[in-house]
Amino acid sequence: MGKLDGRVVLITGAARGQGAQEARLFAEEGAKVVLADVLDEQGSAVAEELGPDVAAYVHLDVGEEADWAAAVATAKETFGALDGLVGNAGILRCNQLTDTPRQEFTEVCRVNQLGAFLGMRAVAPELAAAGGGTIVNTSSYAALAGMPFLTSYAASKAAVLAMTRVAALELAARGIRVNAVCPGAIDTPMTDPVALDPSADPGRAAGAAAAFYRKAVPMGRIGRPEEVARLALYLTADDSSYVTGQHFVVDGGWLAGVPLPVS
């Protein structure tokens, strides 16, 4: 018996990183998963890895309403229903406030903020028709504490938290629970310095990042995608049956404060 036996869950940003780990874990726990992303080759490969009886892939640009309609339709046509969403798709751009172009700000908000809004709006009627369900939005540590160079990202992720609370209030009577995860630094392609800056030396970048996390994070390391996936599983499974409208931080203690060196 798995924690998600009989569930059909749509996971966005599922081609790699947190989303791919969530898809794998949810499938292990008995769910049918619809993987959605704009990285079609990678997303299809993860779905193929899981197998056609368990997983399907659909192209989804979270900022496009028509793509959401197609993703919901794919879930219903392939597995007969839809009763869960994990909104994991997101992008990160780093820039000082005064150097952030308007286009960059709107691009980040389109994916991170508008994508979360369109996703909740698209799936809520289906979840209600199924007798209830769950929505897990992905916010961020940056929505709760200031970080330099992340104006657009922090703004979009703070909006996700606000929308999560409102949606939880509106949808509770329809049997839909809505919560958010707030990851700190997680070892995914989105936060990889080399991926963000192809000119960076991989060894030097990795060493600098490791040194930063040892000093800044009380647990002394960057997080792993599977650690976020396990939190998303908790919020999707019946283990959290009386939990809605909340945010859950998974950051190795980063938000707790600045660790001081102990002699």
Q: Which residues are catalytic?
A: 153
Q: Other CB atoms closer than 10 Å to residue 261's CB: what's the count? A: 5
Q: Other CB atoms closer than 10 Å to residue 180's CB: what's the count? A: 28
Residue 163 · residue 117 · CB < 8 Å: yes
Residue 236, helix vs strand vs coil: helix
Nearest to 14 by CA among 56, 65, 51: 56
Query: What single-letter DSSP state applies at residue 260?
Result: P
Query: What single-letter DSSP state applies at residue 31?
Result: -
DSSP string, 72-84: HHHHHHHHS---E
DSSP string, 108-173: HHIIIIIHHHHHHHHHHHHHHHTT-EEEEEE--GGGTS--TTBHHHHHHHHHHHHHHHHHHHHHGG
Output the furthest CA–CA distance in the chain (Å, rounded): 61
> What is the C-alpha to C-alpha distance for residues 153 and 139, in angstroms, rounded to an integer?
10
Q: Other CB atoms closer than 10 Å to residue 255's CB: what's the count? A: 15
